[in-house]
Amino acid sequence: MWVRSAAIRPVPPYARMPEETLATVEEWLGADEEHAEHRLDDTFGRFESAQPALAARIGAALGRANDEVAVALGYFLSLLVWLAFDRAFGARVAEVSELAVRGVEESLALDEELRRGDPAEAVDSDEVVAMEQPHVLELVHQHLDAALDAHAERADVDAVHRVYRLILVEILALSYATAPPAGPVEPSAEGDA
């Protein structure tokens, strides 16, 4: 799909998340409910150590949220996304600086403004992110829909939307922080190289 204008930088093909990594991470995070809370806490500690600026930004935003559905969803999705990048790309994912996080937030805000200002623009900013990281956004949408369906009567939709936007920033920031692999880059199955 062609996008007329975008302030969101493209994600390099070598930083696109493989679908199978997401499935593995989602299964691991959700397995063994008895130890799930400990597993999530341990993962968040590793996330804070590996990505302190990003973890601090997410932690602060979730700390301001007054909706437990949004907080639980944000906590789970932020860990799911980071762990998927960690598992898929390992040491190739550099530490995201506070400046880089602000840059992604500003580009997303600018993209949203461009789209609001163009009545002919039929693509939303999150759809642009979905074109860049389709498997990640598909999984995020599945969890958002499931949470809203399960807690429709008590979820604050605005708070959930703010969490969703926060996760978009995380996805883009980690995508841009992913370095190419050593050696030649193989074309992906989707034909982009």
- pLDDT, tens only, 48-105: 999 999 999 999 999 998 899 999 999 999 999 999 999 999 999 999 999 999 999 9
- Interacting residues of 38 by C-beta distance below 8 A, sequence separation 6+: none
CA angle, corner 17, sides to 12 and 22, nearest 5? 170
Of the two residues 86 and 151, the one the predictor is more confident about is 86
pLDDT mean over 154-174:
93
Q: Does residue 138 carry a pLDDT above 90?
A: yes
Percent of the chain with pLDDT over 90: 60
CB 73 within 8 A of CB 143: yes
Measured distance CA(19)–CA(23) in Å, rounded:
7
Find tokens 């590996």 and name the residue: 50
- List 54's β-bridge partners, or say none: none
Predicted model pTM:
0.87
Residue 28: what pLDDT?
83
- Provide the residue ranges of all domains of the chain, joining segments of one domain with +: 15-176
Residue type, 187: P
Residue 192: what pLDDT?
45
